[in-house]
Amino acid sequence: MQALGFRRFSLLGWSDGGITALIAAALNPTLVNKLVVWGANAFVSEEDIQIYQSLRDVSLWSERMRRPMEQMYGAQYFKQTWERWVDGISQFINKPQGSICVDLLPQISCPTLILHGAQDPVVPAYHPQLLQDSISGSRLHVFPKGKHNIHLRYSAEFNTLVEQFLNE
């Protein structure tokens, strides 16, 4: 962003992009104006490992979830990349408290909106709660019937919330 000439900017991140945005906001407080994250976690628990392992075999995914990824990346490449992601994210369990970036959360000083789908099968509700508890002044909005893809399934409400937050 600095190379593009932006002195300050807001970050929006979903899932691993949300983790990246959390880290970037913590490490660059003078650059990040506002932060919006959804489907993100700051640590990996034993329960998370079980979830990841249950999702490891993409052939068991519904066709609706698997097909777009296979069309985009090719079936074999997607399968291998997903398995490597599961292996990679699972390594955080070996760090103290499974931390990805828990220690950085209190350093986030920009206004932060945390969005979460209450029925997210990938990110249990304790993750957004930890984010809210650890990021001073942050707000949490829960989509009661939302899953991991709230930005797609509830796009109108999602976009309205984000736009209002960014325009405040």
Catalytic residue among 116, 120, 127, 138: 120
15 is catalytic: yes
d(CA 131, CA 94): 21
148 is catalytic: yes
Contact yes or no for 167/11 (Cβ under 8 A):
no
Q: What are phi and psi of 43, to 5 degrees?
A: -150, 170
d(CA 143, CA 145): 6
Contact yes or no for 165/36 (Cβ under 8 A):
yes
Catalytic residue among 48, 116, 134, 148: 148
SS3 state of residue 120? coil
Catalytic residue among 10, 15, 90, 99: 15
Query: Can you tell me which residue has the tokens 């052939």?
Result: 59
- Reading the block at residue 125, the tokens are 């509700």
141 is catalytic: no
Q: Which residues are catalytic?
A: 15, 120, 148
